Amino acid sequence: MVDILKPEEMYNSIDYKIPSDRWEDVPPDLTLGNFCYPTKKKNQEYLGIVAKDEWSPADEDWKLPENWEEIIHEGFKERLDKYRSLKVFMDICVRCGACADKCHFFIGSGDPKNMPVLRAELLRSVYRKDFTTAGKILGSIAGARKITPLVIKEWFSYFYQCSECRRCSVYCPYGIDTAEITMMGRELLSLLGLNINWILEPVANCFRTGNHLGIQPHALKEMIEFFCDDIEEITGIKINPSFNRKGAEILFITPSGDFFADPGTYTMMGYLMLFEHIGLDYTLSTYASEGGNFGLFTSSDVMKRLNGKMFAEAKRLGVKWILGGECGHMWRVINQYMDTMNGPADFLEVPKSPITGTQFSNAASTKMVHIAEFTADLIKHNKLKLDPSRNDKFKVTFHDSCNPARAMGLLDEPRYVLKGVCNHFYEMPENTIREQTFCCGSGSGLNTEEIMDLRMRGGLPRANAVQHVHDKHGVNMLACICAIDRAALPPLMDYWVPEVGVTGIHELVGNALVMDGEIERTTDLRFEPLNEEEEQTDE
């Protein structure tokens, strides 16, 4: 790993001064520490997509296939014919600049090519040359440029400096969505075998084992049982979740990050405790053991291949509907792609909470409900015994994850749950939350160590807003509903705001939940003291 600047140095290094050279003449920085490592060939081969021999973005010659220009041209053409979004977004941008300073990577790096408009121009300039009359005739005067190996390098650099968070698209007068542009750019790169390992390895894992982390079925069972032991130690209650059980009412699917790494594991414990408490008839699947979908960051075909397992497993097990855990991009896939790609889910029923009787008509077709919707409904109907004071040592703020915010609109459900399970909740400034929320800086498969500098820069706007409520209200816990957040925000907080921890909201639910027959709790789910004696000074 490359050493990165100290926070203060990094903060002071941000410079919005525009370079004197035209952007077309500024080559991308592909020195070590500024690019994601390419994928291992075996992952591409396993998935049966274009495979490329070992190479490094730092190489002068990327040894592209001989007909690479034709591949890109044909690939571009195919996507223009398949996606109206691409066609329209290529044609109608007026370069008003409204998006320019909305990107967290631009705010943190000052690199003009991280302005969404220029990120799109990287593609658009080639589009003009290849597909428009004016571009063919007038060339650079019309903003067209011929594709060269250097342009491919530039694409690789900058389409892997976009986390597909869609914040720019909120401000664009035409709704131009850079996530669409980046997805197309990455698909084109993929046609040349240019994938990054931090995305493709999870994809290959997920394809085989059912989850990104490559956890095999027996290991998954052990992990969950391990959590159950912890829960027993804390609450005195023994939970025995079922796996791959046919005939269960509900299939529960959550991102595999929740099985594996803190603090996601505590969130997993929270789910298990909640389900036990309400007596939910559910099962976990080892085959469909991944809520997330790194296929979204690869190509629509790969996304579909991974996503297909959810419905397939629900059908095999004969469940009535699917409940989904806290995850960001997972919910973009479920809300905007799943039914179209792998539906119709006519073998399932419209989800209905067995506890409250509430019918989730907003999931009438996909038959998949978000856990925050589910839990908010439980709390609203007073079905949970909660002791929010168990979370009193936490002063909590909430980070809206990009995809649930801007590709779904899941904003008030998690807030309602949070307010139900903790006493100290503070919002970050309004331009940094809800649909204006900032990315953690590591979304869309960029959560990889080798680009730590970029990740800390990209996460700065989020961290800075946390800093604000930390200074103002003493906030010490950042709640989120995304597994990538739970992996990416802890290092981000350590770097910028070291006094703030990270939690999923169902960890806090688990803390506050008073289960039937539980022993008196002395610790929270992290085995840290509860501090119940602490005086309530707030309000």
Partner 1 sequence: MNVNYFYSLLAVVGLGSVAYVGAGVAGLQGVFGIFIPYLAVVIFISGFINRVMGWARSPVPFRIPTTCGQQKSLDWIQQNKIDNPSTLFGVIIRMFLEIVLFRSLFKNTRTEIVGDKIAYKWVVWLWLFAILFHYSFLAVVVRHLRFFLEPVPFFVTFLEQIDGILQVGLPGVFLSGITLLAGAVLLLLRRILIPKINYISIAADYFPLLLIIGIALTGLMMRYFTKVDVVKVKELTMGLATFHMGIPEGGLSGLFFVHLFFVCILAAYIPFSKLMHMGGVFLSPTRNLANNGRMKRHINPWNPEVKFHTYDEYEDDFREKMIEAGLPVEKE
Q: What are phi and psi of 196, to 5 degrees?
A: -105, 150
Does position 139 bind partner 1 by CB under 8 A? no
How far is the CA of 357 from the CAs of 13, 118, 361, 417, in angstroms?
A: 55, 50, 12, 18
Binding mask 516-535 for partner 1 (x = CB under 8 A): --------------------
**Structure tokens, 371:** 């856990």
The contacts of residue 48 (CB under 8 Å, 6+ apart) are: none
- The rounded distance, in Å, linking the Cα atoms of 41 and 33 is 21
- The rounded distance, in Å, linking the Cα atoms of 134 and 128 is 7
Give the footprint of partner 1 on residues 228-257 (CB under 8 A): 243-246
The least distance separating partner 1 from the CB of residue 171, rounded to whole angstroms, comes to 6
Instruction: Provide the 3-class DSSP secondary structure of residue 50.
Output: coil
Residue among 129, 309, 320, 470 that touches partner 1 (CB under 8 A): 309
Give the footprint of partner 1 on residues 462-501 (CB under 8 A): 464-465, 467-468
The least distance separating partner 1 from the CB of residue 29, rounded to whole angstroms, comes to 18
The least distance separating partner 1 from the CB of residue 527, rounded to whole angstroms, comes to 26
Does position 170 bind partner 1 by CB under 8 A? yes
The least distance separating partner 1 from the CB of residue 290, rounded to whole angstroms, comes to 12
Give the footprint of partner 1 on residues 494-513 (CB under 8 A): none
Give the footprint of partner 1 on residues 201-220 (CB under 8 A): 207-210, 216-218
Residue among 407, 452, 487, 505 that touches partner 1 (CB under 8 A): 407
CB closer to partner 1 out of 64 and 355:
355
**Structure tokens, 221:** 């069972």
The least distance separating partner 1 from the CB of residue 538, rounded to whole angstroms, comes to 24
- The rounded distance, in Å, linking the Cα atoms of 236 and 244 is 26
- The rounded distance, in Å, linking the Cα atoms of 474 and 462 is 16
Residue among 141, 382, 517, 539 that touches partner 1 (CB under 8 A): 141
Instruction: Provide the 3-class DSSP secondary structure of residue 135.
Output: helix
CB closer to partner 1 out of 68 and 243:
243
CB closer to partner 1 out of 301 and 449:
301
Residue among 366, 391, 447, 503 that touches partner 1 (CB under 8 A): 366
Residue among 34, 197, 300, 448 that touches partner 1 (CB under 8 A): 300
Residue among 290, 377, 400, 453 that touches partner 1 (CB under 8 A): 377
Q: Which stretch binds partner 1 (CB under 8 A): 61-69, 265-273, 424-432, 520-528?
A: 424-432
Does position 73 bind partner 1 by CB under 8 A? no
- Contact indicator for 161, 459 with CB cutoff of 8 Å: no
Query: If you write DSSP's letter for every residue of 184-252 in order, what string do you get?
Result: HHHHHHHHTT--BHHHHHHHHHHHHHSSTT---HHHHHHHHHHHHHHHHHHHS------BS-TT-SEEE
- The rounded distance, in Å, linking the Cα atoms of 30 and 38 is 12
Does position 83 bind partner 1 by CB under 8 A? yes
How far is the CA of 5 from the CAs of 226, 246, 321, 499, in angstroms?
A: 38, 53, 48, 20
Does position 426 bind partner 1 by CB under 8 A? no
CA angle 398, 241, 328 (to 5 degrees): 30
**Structure tokens, 278:** 């309400």
Residue among 195, 335, 391, 447 that touches partner 1 (CB under 8 A): 335
Instruction: Provide the 3-class DSSP secondary structure of residue 501.
Output: strand
Residue among 75, 354, 408, 448 that touches partner 1 (CB under 8 A): 408
Residue among 40, 87, 383, 419 that touches partner 1 (CB under 8 A): 87
Does position 69 bind partner 1 by CB under 8 A? no
Binding mask 98-127 for partner 1 (x = CB under 8 A): x-xxx----x----x--x-xx--x------
The least distance separating partner 1 from the CB of residue 394, rounded to whole angstroms, comes to 23
Helices (H), 477-527: 483-496, 505-512
Binding mask 432-451 for partner 1 (x = CB under 8 A): x-xx----------------
